[in-house]
Amino acid sequence: MTDRTITIIPIDEINFPILEYIGKCLETTFDLETTIMTRQEIASHIPEPVYGGRYNSTNILKFMADRIPGSAFKLLAVTTLDLYSPIFSCFFGEAQLGGTCALVSLHRLKQEFYDLPPDQETFLARCEKEAIHEIAHTFGLLHCSNKHCIMYPSNNIIDTDVKSNTFCPDCTCLLKI
């Protein structure tokens, strides 16, 4: 029997309370245990940043997928690196659809990125939404057209702020854990 635990792996220096908060949100949403691993050093294993210091999320996701701990049912890598993909110039995360690995960047979730005063409550709400969204992709959920559903795509930070931290009825029916 597989251990059905979501493993959270920081790939930068991230405050432990933030990782704990993300873990609690995932536990509540998916009714699964979480565990937080020690920080993983990946800087020497991924290509140099491009596009003004952004890192290719797909490369990071592939790197993490090759190093999944044997006990991991689902893995969420959390980073402070600014990300891009070949499809999007910048965004908040990426996941293997129906797979094991997901990646979330905290870089653009902070108010300070938008030259606004710090707001911890807003930051944590964004962390929660993006972590749940990306892990839900690993359970096979696609993007949703309901702008209030957590599976609505975040094309910008306003999309993240507008959507709720829960699934719409249609996505709830589709979610198979």
The whole-number average pLDDT for the span 114-129 is 97
pLDDT attached to residue 88: 66
- Domain assignment present for residue 118? The answer is yes
pLDDT attached to residue 66: 80
pLDDT attached to residue 61: 87
Number of compact structural domains in the chain: 1
The whole-number average pLDDT for the span 94-116 is 95
Q: Is the pLDDT of residue 1 over 50?
A: no
- Domain assignment present for residue 66? The answer is yes
- Are β-strands 55-56 and 83-84 bridged in parallel, bridged antiparallel, or unpaired? parallel
- Domain assignment present for residue 150? The answer is no
Q: Is the pLDDT of residue 134 over 70?
A: yes
Mean pLDDT of the chain: 90
Rounded Cα–Cα distance for residues 89 and 57 (Å): 11
- Domain assignment present for residue 119? The answer is yes
Rounded Cα–Cα distance for residues 27 and 135 (Å): 11
Q: Tell me the per-residue pLDDT of 138-153, one tens digit each, with 9 for 90 and over.
A: 999 999 999 999 999 9
pLDDT attached to residue 90: 60
- Domain assignment present for residue 155? The answer is no
Active site residues: 134
Q: pTM for the whole thing?
A: 0.92
Confidence tier at 57 by pLDDT (50, 70, 90): confident
Note down the domain range covering 41. Answer: 5-141
**What CATH number does residue 97 fall under?**
3.40.390.10
- Domain assignment present for residue 159? The answer is no
**CA 168-153-79 angle, 5° bins:** 115
